[in-house]
Amino acid sequence: MRVLVTGGTSGLGLAMACALAAAGAAVALTGRSGRRARTVAAGLPGAVGIELDVRDEASVARAVDEAWSRLGGVDMLVNNAGIGMRTVNPRFMTHVQGFWEVPAADFRAMVETNLTGYFLVAREVVPRMLAAGGGRVVNVSVSHSTMHRAGFVPYGPSRAGSEALSRVMAADLRGTGVTVNLLLPGGVTATGMLPPDAVPQGREVLAPDVMGPPIVWLASADAADVHDERINAVEFGHWLRDRHPVR
């Protein structure tokens, strides 16, 4: 399995890249800094690091060309690159900022990264997958409550948009051999998007590696026909048992 993971230098993206590489996949991970992407990839077996700014069409085209060339093709795209509320409001966990207080430039930057970025990378990769006869797209999402939480403009709308985009992509690609699925952690996760000491005492914080088992399974032969599913990583074990009950 040859996998392209966007935003793979830290957080959820790095956790998924590590799990996939450990499972034997050939991984191309990307980041805005090519140097950092290459440094991180050097620590994973068989991985390559590629510079990619998901907001820029030319950067997307170059990165996908490089990934396709270096891996010999791409069987799975993991759309993960994104920025969080911390870039707009560093105190977002404790200080609710009304949407009218959000600078228009910050709104545009987040939508361009979290929504348009998913579109641009998938638009570049999917035609190649169709020509190759198949492939898989996994779009990383968040809990529904995050999408409409007070003070979460523009993060919530950007993630709601990417989820809607995923459902439309799945509808467009039904029956083509290219599958599209959503994967989300299922709770507050310890990544760079979360300010230090921002989570109330007693509230569970997930480790990024919660994404490992479901992304490895989605890359496996067992998931070849899984399409248009929304998989919560925390509940993955239960979801899998419900899908394949023990007889």
Q: Catalytic positions, please?
A: 155
Quickly tell me which residue has 């450990």 as its tokens: 22
Strand partners, 135: 178
Q: Which two tokens stand for residue 214?
A: 């479901």
224, 106, 207: which is closest to 155 by C-alpha?
106
Strand partners, 6: none
Amino acid of residue 90 = P
Q: What are the angstrom distances between the C-alpha of 68 and each of 57, 61, 73, 80, 237?
A: 16, 11, 4, 18, 32
Let me know the angle formed at the C-alpha of 165 by 163 and 170, rounded to the nearest 5 degrees.
Answer: 100
